[in-house]
Amino acid sequence: MNRQEIEKLPYRPCVGVMVVNASGHVFVGQRRDRDYDAWQMPQGGVDPGEDPRDAALRELEEETGITRDLVRVEAETEGWLPYELPHELVPKLWGGKYRGQEQKWFLLRFNGTDDQVNIATAEPEFAAWRWIAADDMLAGIVPFKRDVYAAVLAAFKDKL
């Protein structure tokens, strides 16, 4: 696909989840499908007709095993935050139908214990996980998502 074709594509509707534990640290998972050290917060697509908050809670459980009874939704971004995929990834992801994602982010307070996190899910997304300080998060994120993550940190900074 050339640049002009990619620019005509829509964004994929998606939710992102910032899970924060009692110590104020943020959950990040290391992606299984990348050949480099890529960490990210849970995220995933919004199904047609699905409420974004419900999608966030569904994605959280699908990717981390954390059930909705173990979290409290504390905030959400006002709008949707878009990011562009690197052009070489566009044809490889989502059947080449999207130029990137437009994300609604939710801040969730984790009220469980670490043994209630289970990334060995039906369709594992993460190879490893950890809690990190919010200030350290941007250093380990893939470059094309860094601006969105910075906006999410800014949106939720008062609640971290």
- pLDDT single digits (tens) 16-54: 999 999 999 999 999 887 656 778 999 999 999 999 999
Residues 134 and 155 sit within 8 Å (Cβ to Cβ): no
What count of other Cβ atoms lies within 10 Å of the Cβ of residue 38?
17
Does 117 score more than 90 pLDDT?
Answer: yes
Say what the pLDDT of residue 77 is: 98
Q: Which amino acid is at 41?
A: M
Say what the pLDDT of residue 36 is: 63
Percent pLDDT > 70 in the chain is 98
Determine if the pTM surpasses 0.85: yes
Backbone angles phi, psi at 100, to 5 degrees: 175, -155
Say what the pLDDT of residue 32 is: 85
Q: How would you classify the pairing of strands 100-110 and 11-20?
A: parallel
Exposure string over 95-131, b if 16+ CB within 10 A, otherwise e: eeebbbbbbbbbbbbbebeeeebebeeeeebbeebeb
Specify the range with the lowest mean pLDDT, choosing from 22-26, 30-34, 95-99, 102-106: 30-34
pLDDT tens readout for residues 122-152: 999 999 999 999 999 998 888 899 999 999 9
Say what the pLDDT of residue 33 is: 73
